[in-house]
């Protein structure tokens, strides 16, 4: 079976309220993704989502079809879709990094590295920056020294 990585971005609608709804969405997604062998990462920057999904192509395609119909976000833009040998987010059903909710030192490092406005980190447009950005998000999740 072929594994793939799909990356897209989208804009949050006001149907998705912050915090509680988002937390529930992540919990449900993590559980469902685990059942389907999908791993991934969701980044939120203001009202912008960036999501990477990895796993068996059929499962990832079926999820993307559901995502397109989901009214909690809109303007989905497919950024990349490729076969993969190795996963970036192995062992992760789904994790969320909210860029507006990071400790200041972490935010300011990201703001220097990636496009930003008034200190707020924005999701990069260029593909090579996007990959670096997703991997930084992964290491932020792995570290999270402020949660310990």
Q: Where do contacts with ligand FMN occur on this chain (CB under 6 A)?
A: 25, 29, 32-33, 40, 42, 49, 51, 63, 66-67, 70, 72-73, 94
Between CA 116 and CA 136 the distance in angstroms is 15
Least distance CB 73 / ligand FMN (angstroms):
4
Kindly tell me which of 101 and 119 has the beta carbon lying closer to ligand FMN.
Answer: 101
Least distance CB 30 / ligand FMN (angstroms):
8
Least distance CB 5 / ligand FMN (angstroms):
13
Least distance CB 24 / ligand FMN (angstroms):
10
- Residue 121, classified by CB atoms within 10 Å of its CB into exposed (0-12), middle (13-18) or buried (19+), is buried
Kindly tell me which of 49 and 114 has the beta carbon lying closer to ligand FMN.
Answer: 49
The sheet that has 48-56: what strands, in order across it?
73-83, 3-12, 48-56, 39-45, 95-98
Kindly tell me which of 38 and 140 has the beta carbon lying closer to ligand FMN.
Answer: 38
Residue recorded with tokens 């076969």: 83
**Cα 52 to chain centroid, rounded:** 5
Kindly tell me which of 95 and 114 has the beta carbon lying closer to ligand FMN.
Answer: 95
Residue recorded with tokens 């999820």: 63
Between CA 1 and CA 54 the distance in angstroms is 13
């Amino acid at each position: 079976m072929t594994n793939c990585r799909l990356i897209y971005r989208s804009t949050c609608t006001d149907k998705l309220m912050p915090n509680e709804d988002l937390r529930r969405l992540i919990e449900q997604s993590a559980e469902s993704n685990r059942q389907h062998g999908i791993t991934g990462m969701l980044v939120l920057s203001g009202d912008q989502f960036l999501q990477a999904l990895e796993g068996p192509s059929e499962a990832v395609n079926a999820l993307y079809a559901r995502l397109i119909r989901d009214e909690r976000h809109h303007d989905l833009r497919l950024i990349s879709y490729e076969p993969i040998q190795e996963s970036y987010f192995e062992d992760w059903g789904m994790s969320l990094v909210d860029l507006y909710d990071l400790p200041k030192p972490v935010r300011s490092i990201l703001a220097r590295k990636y496009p930003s406005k008034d200190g707020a980190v924005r999701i990069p447009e260029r593909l090579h920056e996007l990959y670096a950005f997703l991997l930084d998000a992964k290491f932020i999740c792995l570290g999270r020294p402020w949660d310990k």
